[in-house]
């Protein structure tokens, strides 16, 4: 049985190796060459798979955004790329919200009391409750940060699923469409 400490080290090393491979690939191959090697159809499939897991962690977020930028710069249609990536990202985040909501029931004892107190104090502040949809949309739609923090926060405060799903869909589509169109219009200089 591998100790928890060693698991973290192994995960960190795998992440570093992945990022080094990604950086090396982008250094030696232009986006056009990458798209030519994998093909346009495979590019759409790849962005669907990577974006599904893109909001789960910082590592996933980095690889998702890097791939989205690369495929956009490589000549793949930015509208289709954004729609496919947004759909997949939203599906992954909605799944995470559902699992987080159901997983909250597993929290017992002292931690359950802390989570309940946090949710209660949050809901007591009417201004926070009213601004939550706007802040959540801006976070999902305009920042490159991992979505898991926000999604799990919404699950923790027992945010209504229909409202959460609407925010997730709108925010993820905004982000996934914004990046390719910025790349195509030359806003990212690498």
Closest of 92, 17, 9, 11 to residue 48, by C-alpha: 92
Q: Is residue 24 part of a domain?
A: no
Closest of 4, 164, 144 to residue 64, by C-alpha: 144
Q: Is residue 18 part of a domain?
A: no
Q: Is residue 17 part of a domain?
A: no
pLDDT at 4: 72
Q: Is residue 39 part of a domain?
A: yes
Q: Are 62 and 68 in contact (CB under 8 A)?
A: no
Q: Is residue 3 part of a domain?
A: no
pLDDT at 26: 66
Domain around 93: 31-184
HEC-encoded secondary structure of the chain: CCCHHHHHHHHHHHHHHHHHHHHHHHHHCCHHHHHHHHCHHHHHHHHHHHHHCCCCCHHHHHHHHHHHHHHHHCCCCHHHHHHHHHHHHHHHHHHHHHHHHHHHHHCCHHHHHHHHHHHHHHHHCHHHHHHHHHHHHHHHHHCCCCCHHHHHHHHHCCCCHHHHHHHHHHHHHHHHHHHHHHHHCCCCCC
Q: What is the mean pLDDT of each run of 10 residues along the chain (190 residues)?
A: 73 79 73 78 88 73 85 91 95 90 73 75 83 94 88 88 96 95 75
Q: Are 71 and 107 in contact (CB under 8 A)?
A: no
Domain count, the chain: 1
Q: Are 178 and 66 in contact (CB under 8 A)?
A: no
Q: Is residue 25 part of a domain?
A: no
Q: Is residue 16 part of a domain?
A: no
Burial, 13: exposed, middle or buried (Cβ in 10 Å; 0-12, 13-18, 19+)?
Answer: exposed
pLDDT at 57: 67
Distance CA 135, CA 38 (A): 37
Residue 114 in tokens: 């802390």
Q: Is residue 12 part of a domain?
A: no
CA distances from 132 to 74, 127, 187 (A): 37, 8, 30
Closest of 130, 17, 122 to residue 63, by C-alpha: 17
């Amino acid at each position: 049985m591998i100790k928890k400490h060693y698991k973290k080290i192994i995960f960190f090393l795998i992440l570093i190796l992945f990022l080094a491979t990604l950086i090396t690939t982008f250094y030696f191959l232009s986006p056009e060459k990458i798209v030519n090697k994998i093909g346009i159809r495979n590019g759409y499939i790849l962005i669907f798979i990577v974006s599904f897991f893109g909001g789960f962690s910082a590592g996933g977020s980095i690889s998702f955004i890097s791939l989205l930028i690369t495929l956009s710069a490589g000549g793949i249609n930015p509208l289709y790329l954004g729609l496919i990536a947004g759909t997949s990202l939203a599906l992954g985040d909605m799944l995470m919200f559902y699992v987080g909501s159901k997983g909250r029931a597993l929290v017992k004892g002292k931690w359950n009391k802390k989570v309940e107190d946090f949710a209660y104090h949050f809901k007591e502040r009417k201004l926070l409750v009213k601004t939550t949809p706007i802040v959540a949309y801006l976070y999902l739609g305009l920042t490159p940060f991992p979505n898991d923090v926000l999604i799990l926060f919404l699950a923790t405060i027992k945010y209504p699923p229909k409202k959460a799903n609407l925010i997730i869909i709108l925010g993820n589509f905004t982000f996934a469409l914004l990046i390719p169109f910025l790349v195509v219009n030359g806003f990212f200089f690498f």
